[in-house]
């Protein structure tokens, strides 16, 4: 079995990897998964659950700041799937699972927006329609 780190290095980067919304999305997913993994797989004595929950709150706060610093164009890109995310019939299971995580990270970040205008709600409805067509269950 090949090492996951080596497999990830072999993947081409997303076409929009330098965009500010992508940085916000990546930060949120990375920190959320890291803390969730530590909570789920922690040793009872070695890791204080209260500290992990506080750290998760700090990461969420930072993700909120990054999210609300995005301009309208970046929010539009955040609420739109890329061509790669629309193509779920990937032969590489690692790519498919990463794209699913990014897709649902977009949904979670939408719910973190404080002020949702009608435009935001329409974009989110369109995003959810695309997600339902791709992942029917």
Query: Mind listing the pLDDT tens digit for each residue in 97-127?
Result: 667 788 888 999 999 999 899 999 999 999 9
User: Residue 124 and residue 96: Cα distance in Å, rounded?
Assistant: 22
Minimal CA–CA distance to 90: which of 36, 25, 134, 46? 134
- Which residue has better confidence, 3 or 122? 122
Q: What is the pLDDT of residues 6-64, one digit of tens each?
A: 655 666 776 777 788 888 888 888 888 888 877 777 665 566 777 888 888 899 999 99
CA nearest 102: which of 126, 78, 121, 124?
Answer: 78
Residue 1: per-residue pLDDT: 41
């Amino acid at each position: 079995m090949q090492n996951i780190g080596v497999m990830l290095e072999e993947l081409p980067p997303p076409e929009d990897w330098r965009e500010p919304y992508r940085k916000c999305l990546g930060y949120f997913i990375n920190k959320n998964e890291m803390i969730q993994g530590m909570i789920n797989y922690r040793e009872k004595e070695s890791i204080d659950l209260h500290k992990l929950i506080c750290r998760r709150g700090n990461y969420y706060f930072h993700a909120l700041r990054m999210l609300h610093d995005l301009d309208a164009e970046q929010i539009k890109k955040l609420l739109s799937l890329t061509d790669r995310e629309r193509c779920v019939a990937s032969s590489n299971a690692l790519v498919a699972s990463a794209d699913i995580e990014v897709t649902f990270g977009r949904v979670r970040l939408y719910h973190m927006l404080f002020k949702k205008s009608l435009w935001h709600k329409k974009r989110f409805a369109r995003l959810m329609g695309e997600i339902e067509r791709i992942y029917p269950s």
